[in-house]
Amino acid sequence: MFHITEFKKLSGVSVRTFRYYDKIGLLKPVSKTEGGHRLYSNTELKKLQQIQFLKTIGFQLSEIKIMLESEEWDWSNSLMKQLSYVINEKERLSKIEISLRELINGIAIDGEEFKIKKIMDLYNNKSSKEVLNNNQDKLNFKNTEVLEKIPKMGSSDPDSLEWIALVGQLKKYMHYGYSNTRIQNIIERMDVKKSEDYNDEEAFLDKLWDIRMSPEESKKYNLYPIDQETLNFMEKAYIYYLGNQS
């Protein structure tokens, strides 16, 4: 049993925090003295450490509370969600980093600091134009000849099966980003398998990526459905793969 300042020294967390956690019901003292002073035990210390860890990896206290309360929490789900959030944040920061470096270089080259406002204007204009460009839809053409070669759903042929498995893995690990080793290994395997299965007679994957079919269309052809997001991701990963080959 520890008094609140001992508990603070053991954990390195402030007294105010304990009172706050008590108030929001996240971590309650094991008991109280007659006068109302809080008392903690080793159990609370361990729970506090769990809370601290979950906090450092970016969860909010309200989420942590629910996590630790329910006995059968879907940990992998929330960890994945948190991971994708972290990855997005990193990407956002990377963009900011690039902008900052450009600005710093621009200033260094100019030497005239008052030009900063003009540079900032450039950024604003650029971003609005980029939005327009990105909204332009890409071409949607079909090639039934190629479609016939695409692995069919429900096939028990191990070759088709691996295609399905590879696409499935692509989706599963998409959150790692297209440059991730695991993703790149999958792409490489696809590339090798492409030339084995389709003998390079048709640039199969190229066609596949041009088709960009909707789930509805692919069902019509009894194909393994590949959604737009996965196709886009596959394209990015493949471009990256080609760039880093040789």
Partner DNA sequence: TATAAAAGATGACGCAAGGTCACTTTCAAG
Partner DNA sequence: CTTGAAAGTGACCTTGCGTCATCTTTTATA
Which residues sit at the interface with a second copy, rule CB under 8 A? 46, 49-50, 52-54, 56-58, 72-76, 79-80, 82-83, 86-87, 89-90, 93-94, 96-97, 99-101, 103-104, 107-108, 113, 116-117, 120-121, 123-125, 157-159, 161-162, 164-169, 171-172, 182, 185, 189, 192-193, 196
| Residue 1 binding target from a second copy, DNA, none, CB below 5 to 8 Å by type | none
Toward a second copy, which CB reaches closer, 134 or 144?
Answer: 134
Q: Which long-range contacts (CB under 8 A, 24 or more apart) does 199-202 make?
A: 202/146, 202/149
In angstroms, the CA 243 to CA 174 distance is 19
Task: List the one residue from 25, 36, 158, 243 that touches DNA (CB under 7 A).
Answer: 36
Interface stretch with DNA, choices 32-40, 71-79, 113-121, 214-222 (CB under 7 A):
32-40
Q: Report, in Å, the least distance between residue 173 CB and a second copy.
A: 9
How far apart, in Å, do the first and last CA atoms of the chain sit?
64
For position 33 contacting DNA by CB under 7 A, the verdict is yes
In angstroms, the CA 46 to CA 54 distance is 13
Interface stretch with DNA, choices 15-23, 155-163, 167-175, 237-245 (CB under 7 A):
15-23
Pick the closest to residue 87 from 187, 172, 180, 166 (CA basis). Answer: 180
Residues contacting residue 4 through CB under 8 Å, at least 6 positions apart: 15, 18, 37, 38, 40
Sequence letter at residue 229: E
Toward a second copy, which CB reaches closer, 16 or 117?
Answer: 117
Task: List the one residue from 12, 25, 34, 76 that touches DNA (CB under 7 A).
Answer: 34
Q: Report, in Å, the least distance between residue 89 CB and DNA.
A: 15
**Furthest C-alpha separation in the chain:** 85
Toward DNA, which CB reaches closer, 54 or 186?
Answer: 54
In angstroms, the CA 45 to CA 56 distance is 17
In angstroms, the CA 128 to CA 87 distance is 25
| Residue 20 binding target from a second copy, DNA, none, CB below 5 to 8 Å by type | DNA
Task: List the one residue from 10, 17, 151, 174 that touches DNA (CB under 7 A).
Answer: 17
In angstroms, the CA 228 to CA 213 distance is 7
Phi, psi of 31 (to 5 degrees): -160, 180
What residues make contact with DNA under the rule CB under 7 A? 3-6, 14-17, 19-20, 29, 32-38, 55, 60-62
